[in-house]
Chain A
Amino acid sequence: MGNVEYKQLDLKSIDLTDTTFVITYGFTLTQLKKSIEKIGILNPPLVKKKSEEQYRIVCGYKRLLVCQDIGIEELRCAVMGQNIEDKDTFLTSLYDNLSHRALNPVEKSITISKLQKYYSGEIIVKNFLPLLGLNSHYSVLDRIKPLSGLDVKIKDAVVDGRIDEGVAAKFLNFSEKDRELIFQLLSALRFSKNKQNEVIDNFYDITKKDGCSISSILDAKELRDILADSSLNIPQKGSRVRYFLRKLRYPKIVKAEKDFLEMKKNLNLGDSIKLTPPPSFEGDKYCIEFQFETLDDLEENLKRIDSIKQNKEFKRIIEG
């Protein structure tokens, strides 16, 4: 870190809006505030002079914000020598953070963006991604880097785990307005990670396939009715919204599924016999399954099964 001098500084001389070397994102100050109020600052923040009157934060961003919050006017700080290059100053901040905690995905993204001022993509991939606990690969760099550019709401949702980081990266495929609309929907319906992925992929694919906008999809009466239906709970709404999007994304497949269910109903197989098509209708093996208690049950089920051979719709599906 080179030469450091300890000085009593006026808090006003530290520019708290200058985050050149700060990577911290997504935090609460409650616990730290209680600690500083009780025992003060044990470890002085590290700053570096940016002009005659002003200093820039290197380490201790949250401590300084607490000081501002509780009205501390002066505090002891470690001041870095001016001879230390910005690159090394940033590394000091990074290693200090990494020494006592794991960075969240947005902080990793901020770190990568800031490292790009000083290092080539190759060096970042090779040396810094592993340091951040990421795989040393360009595709990882491409996935993580854009997160810091997302809207605050989405970044906050990533930090507190409401939105998966992989899903968050997909938000960047949409305009700011569309991101907001999709985010509102995902937040309201509290989808799991897999369902978030499915929904955002379907949104994207539908816009590509049909050349329509996100707002036009969301404006559909059927979707608005689902969201407004007070008789449905959140998981029920989520499930119906997913089905609505699936119908738009895969109209032929969804119709085939519906037709199959309709045909199955007309076969009058009863409750005890299950007829299952091949997954996605891709294979050619259908499955019939039933349970029975008595020989009469068995006889009855076999008769019902035998009768479906005569059903025209069933024959069409099986034989083409």
Chain B
Amino acid sequence: MVRYIPRKIIVDTKVRDSLLTDNVLNNLPGVPVEYVADASTAIDAIRGGKDPLCVGKKVLLLTENRGRFLKPCPGTKEYICCGYQILNFATNCNLECSYCILQSYLNNPAMVVYANAEDMFAELEDKLSQDSESIYRIGTGEFTDSLALDHLTGFAKLIVPYFAHKGNVILELKTKTDNIGNLIDLQHNGNTVISWSLNTEEVAQREEFFAPSIDDRIDAAFKCQKVGYRLGFHFDPLIYYTGWEEGYQKTLERLFAKIDTRNVSWISMGGFRFLPELKPVIQKRFPQSKIIYDEFVPGMDGKMRYFKPIRIEMYSKMLEWIRDYDPKLCVYLCMESREVWRKVFKEDRVENSENLAKILDNTGDNK
């Protein structure tokens, strides 16, 4: 996999002296750097310019997060959510997946790293000490790929050891990359789950342009397994196409040829869904992609989703195939209704978001 290198770095002077800024600048000696007191002018120029999504990804902005770092996952009440907390240390992604929701979700087209990590740790200390009884599942891979920039930022070297000493936290680093170099020697104490977004090889090749192959992702997971990390896998988005059954079965076969199911904390599934605004973006940026031409309906959260019987068919078959490898594996659905849960799992064990969160808290904590 080719590692991300920006064409330009913009450093907000407020984070000029931060550790993450130092790391990035030391790792990118030849890349032009611009220091700005206010990054908004540079961002506005990209946003108003030609092809902002493409141009934006070539610019790495190091700035401060002026809001909260830790926020609940923006799930909607209409669907059952896993109750995840998002640690917002960066936004945007360079992997150029055709279906990426960030293309129509983010306001800032640049690759952004919030370099005021000291503020982030202060906030985490404060939050986690307030309620030491609750279990927090915290992830960094909602608005970015957790590891895509790790060769530049070294963020994992800060965050994994930090959470290794927290008793009530499960950190999930979610990625499509094999950028795991920084993880291997870290003390994680079983508190970090490294998880991969997986798909069929066909989808990976056709729709996930700069992401490593499925085999490379599984190899990376294998290396993390060797050094004792717990693992997660996300079949999200599941893509419905002629040959999907064979494709996903092959991926599962390759996965469980290398990964011991006992090391897997969870596997999630989610059908491809998108904001209606994303369709013209995909048509323009990825004209060869056909994934938006299947049968979608407006979901109760306003996103377009596969027609429900298609989703139920995909989840049910996937579940059956996964359970063939290990019936005890924790499998959950991302943002689905109680009805879909019931029809897929043939039982009513997950009635609401609280139920699901509880199940995952217990599974993830099962060191």
Contacts and interface: CB of A to CB of B under 8 A. Distances in A.
Interface of A: 121-122, 125-126, 136-138, 205, 208-209, 250-253, 256, 279-284, 320
Given A253-B297, A256-B307, A125 B48 contact: yes
Contacts of B52: 138
Interface of B: 48-52, 78, 290, 293-295, 297-300, 305, 307-310, 312, 337-339, 342-343
Contacts of A209: 290, 293-294
B48 A137 contact: yes
A110 B51 CA distance: 22
A122 B49 contact: yes
Most B Cβ at <10 Å: residue of A126, A279, A280: A280
Contacts of A283: 78, 300, 337
B293 A282 contact: no
A121 B52 CA distance: 13
Contact of A280 (B50, B293, B307, B310): B307
A252 B310 contact: yes
B297 A281 contact: yes
Q: Is the interface of B mostly helix, strand, loop or mixed?
A: mixed
Contact of B295 (A121, A122, A136, A251): A251
Given A205-B293, A280-B297, A283-B337, A138 B342 contact: no
Contact of A208 (B293, B295, B300): B293
A138 B305 CA distance: 29
A284 B305 contact: no
A205 B51 CA distance: 24
Given A208-B290, A280-B307, A320 B342 contact: yes
A80 to B, nearest CB: 34
Nearest to B290: A208
Given A205-B293, A256-B309, A320 B343 contact: yes
Contact of B305 (A121, A126, A282): A282
A279 B337 contact: no
Contacts of B48: 125-126, 136-138
Contact of A253 (B78, B295, B312, B343): B295
Contacts of A121: 50
A125 B312 CA distance: 46
